[in-house]
Amino acid sequence: MASILILNGPNLNLLGQRQPEVYGATTLADIERLCEAKADELNLTIEFAQSNDEGAMIDLIHQARDRHDGIILNAGAYTHTSVALMDAISSVALPVIELHLSNIHAREEFRHTSYIAKVALGVICGFGAAGYPMAIAALNEALQ
């Protein structure tokens, strides 16, 4: 059975608790349940994680090399700044789907740059929480 790491970055632990007008009312726990349902449907194993710490995210990506077949990454604001996360993804050579709740291209200019996209298999953004099951389905297809 294929296994996927779903990794969420800084501030995403606040989903549903602050700024619902920007990020919606869905909590990260709700999203985890959506992901588990999609994974059950597709017969996949998932590990769902969140960290506010760039180094901890890099450690999880390194560990994924021996534990998982692919990664879905919502790196939050680190998307737009982190060469270190980009290098970590390159180093593990696993397929990665970059994911965002919001359409980063319809937002501020600084969100239009993504270091993750340069090494990702593909990018899904702008579909809110529904983007997570979409990304699981897309990664499952890529792993066939």
Active site (catalytic) residues: 23, 100
Q: In what order do the strands lie in the sheet with 3-8?
A: 45-50, 3-8, 70-74, 96-100, 122-125
Residues contacting 88, CB < 8 A, separation 6+: 57, 58, 61, 62
Distance of closest approach, residue 43 Cβ to ligand CA2, in angstroms: 27
Binding site for ligand CA2 (CB under 6 A): 11-12, 14-15, 18-19, 23, 74, 76-77, 79, 100-102, 104, 111
Determine the distance from the C-alpha atom of residue 112 to the mean position of all C-alpha atoms in its chain, rounded to a whole number: 17
Distance of closest approach, residue 95 Cβ to ligand CA2, in angstroms: 19
Give the integer Cα–Cα distance in Å for 112 and 32. Answer: 26
Distance of closest approach, residue 92 Cβ to ligand CA2, in angstroms: 21
Cβ proximity to ligand CA2, 2 vs 56, nearer residue = 56
Cβ proximity to ligand CA2, 16 vs 137, nearer residue = 16
